[in-house]
Amino acid sequence: DNDISHVVEADRAHVWHHLIQHAPWTGTDPKADPRIIVEGRGMRVWDQKGREHIDAVSGGVWTVNVGYGRERIANAVRDQLIQLPYFAGSAGSIPGAMFSEKLIGKMPGMSRVYYTNSGSEANEKAFKMVRQIAHKRHGGKKHKILYRDRDYHGTTIACLSAGGQDERNAQYGPYTPGFVRVPHCLEYRAQWDLEGEEYGIAAANAIEEVILAEGPDTVGALCLEPVTAGGGVIVPPEGYWPRVQEICRKYDILLHIDEVVCGVGRTGTWFGYQHYGVEPDFVTMAKGVASGYAAIACCVTNERVFDLFKDDATDPMNYFRDISTFGGCTAGPAAALENMAIIEEENLLENTNAMGDYMLDQLRSLQDKHAVIGDVRGKGLFLGAELVADRATKEPAAEKMVQAVVGDCMANGVVIGATNRSLPGFNNTLCYSPALIATKDDIDQIVSATDAALTRVF
């Protein structure tokens, strides 16, 4: 019985939604229904009341990169499920092999794909590999993993131990030892009295200071988002990444880039790190890999890392003793193959660059009009507008005002996002990550809804 009022009641009674305070739905206000998304096509979704929304956040969390209603992905998954849905990943599969070849083709310098099923888990795989390398090669030293203030790497206890967003970490400790924080690189919230490239180099040098304080022989890896997502859409300044790479090489520290959000087109290149000419040792990815049509995540390594797990076949401990049950699902790579083919055939990277530039300009025009927008930043179709109560002091806008803007857009048929909602923080940032198929018309609608919301709320 899929009568929609029954669905709403079943949801209200039994589903524990992610990231939501449920109190309003369990009270007596009949208008306070849970939100149920029923259908999607292209850039748009419809809720249980039949209301149409333009989705400016690709499924809420920067995931549905190729948009909704892609029959060719559904058909490929259907055919694959009938042929073979699953076999444990100690064996190979046809879509697993074919997608790995296609993916590695987009990642010069990388060579191996380890399949798993969420961004958190992909990051855990990299952390485990780093730890195992520390045991095998460095007598247990070089086990520390550096992570950056404001970055997020996932929801598990180890990923939260590497989590730079205190508002997400509060109340879930104690955490795993061996993770060490380095400063963020957001120039708008400057920690050094420098600008541009000099600022970027200083922010990278701050990582070196942490390495020296900890002892380079204790540090195994550095894990960074190429452009920080949930921490406030932080695009690193010029000079930052080349210096980071230099520092990693200098101290023999493995570089792990978390592409869970940026990966597979979001910033206008296949991977975010490719804007910066960086050569990583690990690249993790999830959300956009199959645009949410199937659960798939990958921990990709270069051959240098892979070799360390096979260079001594006489040692029974000398391989990666890890399994992820659903890493053997074939629906993921089958969907991912089609997803990547769509991006290629429809030239969606080009569209992402063109539309991203257009949207950045449009948001900057909004900034001229609304004093509450302190900073606009972004790369490709991955953008943020940071709201401040006062431009001079950069005091953050109140959380309830930021939420009012998001709510106003929603009430007017546009879904946008906001970061850092739970604790007072420094970046209450409106987030935009429309599907890579976005047109100028779509962007105009998104920006004008934001314009109207800002006018009404402030």
Q: How far is the CB of 262 from ligand PLP (least distance, A)?
A: 8
Q: Which stretch binds ligand PLP (CB under 6 A): 22-30, 149-157, 205-213, 234-242?
A: 149-157
Choice between 120 and 302, CB closer to ligand PLP: 120
Cα–Cα nearest to 291, from 252, 229, 335: 335
List the structure tokens of 105. 């083709």
Is residue 169 at the binding interface for ligand PLP, with CB under 6 A as the rule? Answer: no
Pick between residue 133 and residue 160 the one whose CB is nearest to ligand PLP: 160
At 81, phi and psi to the nearest 5?
-65, -35
Query: By C-beta, is 15 or 212 nearer to ligand PLP?
Result: 15
Kindly state the smallest distance separating residue 64's Cβ from ligand PLP, in Å: 14
Among positions 61, 334, 385, 402, the unique one binding ligand PLP when judged by CB under 6 A: 61
Q: Which one of the spans 52-60, 115-123, 313-321, 422-430 is the region binding ligand PLP (CB under 6 A)?
A: 115-123
With contacts defined by CB under 6 A, name the span among 33-41, 146-154, 238-246, 427-435 that binds ligand PLP. Answer: 146-154
Q: Which stretch binds ligand PLP (CB under 6 A): 114-122, 133-141, 268-276, 352-360?
A: 114-122
- Residue 299 sits in the site that holds ligand PLP (CB under 6 A): no
Nearer to ligand PLP, 61 or 201 (CB): 61
CA neighbours closer than 13 Å in the CB half-sphere of residue 44: 11
Report the candidate in 159, 377, 362, 119 with the shortest Cα–Cα distance to residue 261: 119
What whole-number distance in Å separates Cα of residue 70 and Cα of residue 73?
6
Q: Specify whether the CB–CB gap between 403 and 418 falls below 8 A.
A: yes
Rounded Cα distance between 402 and 457, Å, is 9
Q: Is 154 in the site for ligand PLP (CB under 6 A)?
A: yes
| Residue indicated by tokens 């957001």 | 186
Is residue 229 at the binding interface for ligand PLP, with CB under 6 A as the rule? yes
CA distances from 182 to 83, 147, 154, 303 (A): 48, 6, 17, 28
Residue with the shortest CB distance to ligand PLP: 119
Kindly give the pairing relationship between strand 429-432 and strand 383-390.
Answer: antiparallel
In the chain, % helix, strand, coil (3-state, to 5) comes to 40, 15, 40
Q: Compute the least distance from the CB of residue 319 to ligand PLP, in Å.
A: 25
- Closest residue by Cα to residue 414 from 388, 432, 440, 437: 432
Cα distance between the two ends of the chain: 44
Query: Using CB under 6 A, which of 120, 301, 362, 427 touches ligand PLP?
Result: 120
Question: Any contact of residue 127 with ligand PLP (CB under 6 A)?
Answer: no
CB of 22 to ligand PLP, least distance (A): 20
Binding site for ligand PLP (CB under 6 A): 61, 118-120, 123, 152-155, 225, 229-230, 258, 260-261, 286
